[in-house]
Chain A
Amino acid sequence: MPSSAPTSSAAKPGLHRRPLVARLLEGRDDRLLVITGLGTPTYDAAAAGDDPRTFFLWGAMGGATMMGLGLALAQPDKRVLVLAGDGEMLMSVGSLATVAMKRPANLAVVVLDNEHFGETGMQPTPTHAGVDLAGMAAAAGWAKTLTARTEDDVAGLVEAARTTPGPVFAVAKILAEKLPFVLPPKDGAYLKDRFRQAVLGTV
């Protein structure tokens, strides 16, 4: 902790989401399977590059982490990474308990936490008032939890997301910035078929 009192800007979340997601997905191989929660995490992952092994959710809010669990149990030799917004994660806090009970070593969830509902007018979420999602996951019993706030934390965040035995739950405190839309395909049947073709060799 700095010895001087933090300035108001230093106390605010500081990471830029697009380069952060690009780092999280950098050099991915066919062992990495990605599910993105609806809204900006889906656009962030699309901006990092379309990939058949990324399943982009455009709806089903609150389902990303549990989809990740079903996928992780079905593919224990693959790494499953869920990229979720704070609103998505707050809607599914019960899944913190559900995942903790199964303890899948190959599942990581990264919450891109801008402390706002970014798609709907930037209304503050409970994390803005101090609700600690990583603390909730730690209390539930996830194997590894962390909160990344600055550039210095990013290398550790990437390692946790990509390789640390899980279940891993990481919060990345990001700026509440409005960025250009980068829209991936939105036909769910197409996204499902190409994902299964890439992973299983059959639709």
Chain B
Amino acid sequence: MSEPVPAQPTWPDDIYRALKAAGVQQVCHVPDAGHARLIKSCEADNAMQTVTLTTEEEGVAMVCGAHLGGQRGVLLVQSSGVGNCINMLSLPSTCRMPFMMIVTMRGEYGEFNPWQNAMGLATEAVLTAMQVVCYRCDRPEDVGPTVANAARFTFEGGRPVAILLSQRLIGAKAFVNE
């Protein structure tokens, strides 16, 4: 009771504002705790369609379909889900389509669960190998500007981009019973 409640980080709100400013209208995700606040904001926005996916590569194809129809989309995933996307990333790459994904990182700074390490540590290499440009965020104040500039990079330049929200930024997941 006497423990001070830690302040909620507000960088998810910065992401939401940057997505709005970029005109993003389709938001698809496989949920991650690090994206929970952002997902809530998007779901409360009638100008955004949010879609919960069964697997992350669905979102790559969906965002590309949105582009064919003249709308901007974004895919929200955890680093483990990047591995599921690999071949589907050939779609935006081959077609020179804008494509943006925002990745909450696991398997790095302070990770408790070793099963997250393999994909977490390979995430940036895998994305780079698939010609997705990666912008990494370690500090809260960098998040909003990074999303805004990544959006400009991909929607104006037609090259896939990923924003990696590091575990140092998000905080390692705690495994404690409440």
Mark A residues whose CB is within 8 Å of B. Answer: 33, 35, 55, 59-75, 78, 92, 94-95, 97-98, 101-102, 188-189, 191-192, 195-196, 199-200
Q: Tell me if B69 and A71 are in contact (CB < 8 A).
A: yes
Q: A192-B97, A199-B68 are in contact. Are A70 and B57 (CB under 8 A)?
A: no
CA distance A104 to B66 in the complex (A): 13
Q: Tell me if B54 and A199 are in contact (CB < 8 A).
A: no
**Choice from A74, A188, A200 contacting B26 with Cβ under 8 Å:** A74
Q: A62-B88, A188-B94 are in contact. Are A195 and B58 (CB under 8 A)?
A: no
Q: Which residues of A contact B67 (CB under 8 A)?
A: 70, 192, 196
CA distance A73 to B64 in the complex (A): 12
Task: Report the contact-size class of chain B (Cβ under 8 Å from the partner).
Answer: 20 to 34
**In this complex, what residue of A is CB-closest to B63?**
A70
Q: A60-B90, A63-B88, A98-B53 are in contact. Are A196 and B62 (CB under 8 A)?
A: no
**In this complex, what residue of A is CB-closest to B49?**
A73
**Shortest Cβ distance from B24 into chain A, in angstroms?**
12
Q: Which residues of B contact A69 (CB under 8 A)?
A: 51, 62, 65
Q: Tell me if A74 and B54 are in contact (CB < 8 A).
A: no
Q: Which residues of B contact A62 (CB under 8 A)?
A: 57, 61, 88
**Choice from A71, A94, A98 contacting B65 with Cβ under 8 Å:** A71
Q: A61-B87, A66-B62 are in contact. Are A71 and B57 (CB under 8 A)?
A: no
Q: Tell me if B60 and A63 are in contact (CB < 8 A).
A: yes
